[in-house]
């Protein structure tokens, strides 16, 4: 809203923004200058400081600034916390596929088990997670649960963070000599399009992944007519055929490896990725240089890689492990999080290839997904057993192993609608009755797994639905029975629909749910109560109303697995 950082500091501070995060781009030198110029009153600065200090006093930071290490040992990682973390992991796990009842695994019959995948011996905790006192990886969990004497064959197979259009992780990049101990590229930014003269800015960029658009890369660089040179060394994690992929929107680009020019679009805008296939050896340091210059339009440049053109040595070793085992469990996941949005829903190609090659062995295979969102791929149709473990927390390895071997019966349900392909997005269960019920030309319109979906090692039956309306409350009762042979959890779900309304309403809306545990043969009467206020929506005049008429009640095990139906009327 202003072309001066000093003015931005004034507007923000006077609006009540006391702290700038994560750096002091405006509240550093620009704020200092604004105060010196008299643009910002010291009274405003003092009040901002006062509010920050007040918060610190309220939490006791000045009374007790240091933590008692002895007290930390008693609290962090204590027995109660470990038990809670384990139970949370157990209850979150969702069983998505179990063709032929491959799960749970019979530890009495298994003599060898192959534990495979880049997430087999690591435990992703999700963004902004603290580092716990201890973590149990899937490999550790499985080793603790197998019968003594059972052979556990472990192979990672491939790296977790390599795939089509995946930026080269900083851990494989180092600046030129003289920048020891840092990861990334040495970046030289020029205020001209020809890389001429002295750089206007020199810094370390973790990776080449920039979408500047019409903005300049930095305040000292013009938005038009700039150029950048990145230099450093690349140390690949595995020996194999790699494809280096350079995408340069709005400008020209060049890429060298060990002094050899591999791609060149310096004098033209190339809308398609520039690709170079090279053979790289694990652990060897290669000199890498990338140059970019803004020519016109939207400025963006990204350096990515892919090394799944052939079957890498790591995947071959994992396949051999699967061939030698009675059962294979493959742990895969994705790169996601803040500033890590995904354009594709598929697994990174090396991980897809890993799953595909293991499936070819004919060994009974279980795939465990450790992700925070859905993935797609043809392999999902082929794999007999699929578990969604999410980011299961510090005790995740134990919880996963308990589910694999049947010590715990999974009862988690999906909190979102799982698409067949990215082209279906946005996809959700509570759509309105419009024209979206048709299929695509090349794909069904239905989801791969619906909202609220999740399998169990046992079976549940629903019966005896009763709906009673008393005043402004509606009590819905029904019976759930465990008709299978194992104790298990069921998450019963209550959906409401108004089939006729003056405002188009969703085909169904989740209003209540409840998790219950039943022993084999046990029945339980479930009562769920909704208020009329739960049925309210905004009418044509944007007033919140409860419209008279008939409302339908759906009781189900998911948004698509409806077991009981009934209705009531609002006068």
The number of helices, as runs of H, and strands, as runs of E, in the chain is 10, 27
- In three-state secondary structure terms, 10 is helix
- State how far Cα 232 lies from the chain centre: 30
Q: How many CA atoms lie within 13 A of 415 on its CB side?
A: 8
Preceding peptide of 426 cis, ω within 30°: yes
287 token code pair: 């000199």
Does residue 66 surpass a pLDDT of 90? no
CA distance 506 to 512: 16
DSSP state of 564: E
Are 304 and 245 within 8 A, CB to CB?
yes
Are 382 and 120 a contacting pair, CB within 8 Å? no
**Separation between Cα atoms, residue 331 and residue 367, nearest integer Å:** 6
With tokens 């392909």, the residue in question is 421
Distance (Å, rounded) from C-alpha 498 to C-alpha 536? 11
How many other CB atoms sit within 10 Å of the CB of residue 310? 11
Cis peptide bond N-terminal to 27, omega within 30: no
- State pLDDT tens for residues 102-126: 999 999 999 999 999 999 999 999 8
CA distance 16 to 360: 61
Taking each helix axis from N to C end, the angle separating 396-404 and 138-145, rounded to the nearest 10 degrees, works out to 50
pLDDT of residue 167: 73
Paired with 229 in beta bridges are: 188, 291
Measured CA to CA, the distance from residue 388 to residue 402 in angstroms comes to 14
Q: Match 């749970």 to its residue by tokens.
A: 104
- Rounded CA-CA distance 374/338 in Å is 16
Q: Give the pLDDT confidence of 343-370 residue by residue, as tens digits.
A: 889 998 889 999 999 999 999 999 999 9
For residue range 400-415, list pLDDT tens digits in order.
999 999 999 999 999 9
Model confidence band, residue 179 (pLDDT cutoffs 50, 70, 90):
low
Residues 6+ away with beta carbon under 8 Å from 545: 536, 537, 538, 539
Whether 158 has a pLDDT exceeding 80, the answer reads yes
Instruction: Look over the chain and give the mean of its residue pLDDT values, rounded to a whole number.
Output: 93
- Label residue 91 exposed, middle or buried (CB < 10 Å: 0-12, 13-18, 19+): middle
Q: What digits encode the pLDDT tens for the residues 285-305?
A: 999 999 999 988 889 999 988
């Amino acid at each position: 809203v202003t072309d001066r950082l000093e003015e931005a500091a004034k507007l923000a501070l006077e609006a009540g923004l006391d702290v700038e995060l994560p750096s002091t781009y405006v509240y550093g030198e620009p704020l200092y200058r604004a105060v010196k110029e008299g643009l910002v009153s010291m009274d405003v600065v003092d009040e901002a400081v006062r509010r920050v200090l007040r918060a610190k006093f309220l939490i006791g930071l000045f009374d007790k600034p240091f933590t008692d290490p002895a007290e930390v040992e008693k609290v962090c990682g204590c027995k109660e916390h470990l038990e809670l973390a384990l139970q949370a992991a157990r209850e979150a796990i969702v069983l998505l596929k179990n063709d032929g009842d491959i799960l749970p695994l019979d530890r009495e019959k298994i003599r060898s088990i192959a534990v495979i995948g880049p997430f087999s011996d690591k435990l992703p905790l999700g963004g902004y997670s603290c580092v716990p006192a201890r973590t149990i990886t899937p490999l550790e969990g499985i080793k603790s649960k197998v019968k003594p004497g059972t052979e556990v064959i472990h192979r990672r197979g491939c790296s977790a963070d390599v795939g089509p259009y995946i930026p080269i992780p900083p851990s494989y990049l180092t600046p030129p000599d003289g920048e020891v101990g840092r990861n990334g590229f040495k970046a030289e930014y020029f205020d001209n399009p020809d890389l001429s003269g002295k750089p206007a800015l020199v810094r370390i960029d973790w990776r080449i992944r920039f979408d500047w658009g019409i903005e300049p890369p930095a305040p000292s660089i013009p938005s038009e007519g700039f150029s950048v040179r990145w230099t450093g060394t690349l140390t690949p994690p595995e020996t194999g055929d790699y494809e280096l992929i350079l995408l340069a929107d709005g400008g020209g680009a060049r890429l060298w490896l060990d002094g050899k020019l591999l791609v060149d679009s310096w004098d033209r805008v190339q809308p398609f990725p520039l690709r170079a296939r090279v053979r790289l050896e694990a652990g060897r340091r290669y000199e890498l240089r990338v140059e970019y210059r803004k020519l016109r339009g939207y400025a963006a440049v990204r350096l990515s890689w892919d090394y799944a053109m052939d079957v890498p040595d790591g995947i071959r070793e994992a396949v051999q492990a699967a061939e030698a085992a009675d059962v294979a469990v493959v742990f895969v996941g994705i790169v996601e999080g803040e500033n890590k949005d995904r354009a594709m829903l598929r697994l990174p190609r090396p991980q897809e290839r890993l799953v595909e090659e293991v499936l070819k062995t004919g060994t009974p295979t279980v795939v465990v997904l450790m992700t925070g969102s859905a993935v797609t791929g043809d392999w999902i149709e082929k794999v007999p057993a699929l578990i969604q473990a999410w980011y299961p927390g510090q005790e995740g390895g134990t919880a996963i192993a308990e589910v694999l071997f049947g010590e715990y019966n999974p009862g988690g349900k999906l909190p979102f609608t799982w698409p067949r392909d990215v082209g279906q997005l946005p996809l959700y269960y509570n759509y309105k009755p419009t024209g979206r019920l048709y299929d695509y030309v090349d794909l069904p319109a239905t989801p791969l797994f619906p909202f609220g979906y999740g399998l169990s090692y046992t079976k549940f039956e629903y019966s005896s639905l009763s709906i009673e309306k008393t005043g402004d409350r509606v009590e819905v009762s029904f019976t759930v029975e465990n008709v299978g042979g194992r104790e298990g959890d069921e998450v019963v779900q209550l959906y409401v629909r108004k089939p006729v309304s003056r405002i188009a309403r969703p085909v169904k809306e989740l209003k209540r749910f409840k998790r219950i545990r039943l022993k084999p043969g046990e029945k339980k009467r479930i009562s769920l109560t909704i208020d009329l206020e739960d049925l309210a929506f905004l009418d044509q005049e944007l007033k919140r109303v409860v419209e008279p008429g008939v409302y339908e009640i759906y009781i189900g095990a998911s948004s698509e697995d409806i077991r009981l139906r009934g209705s009531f009327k609002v006068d």
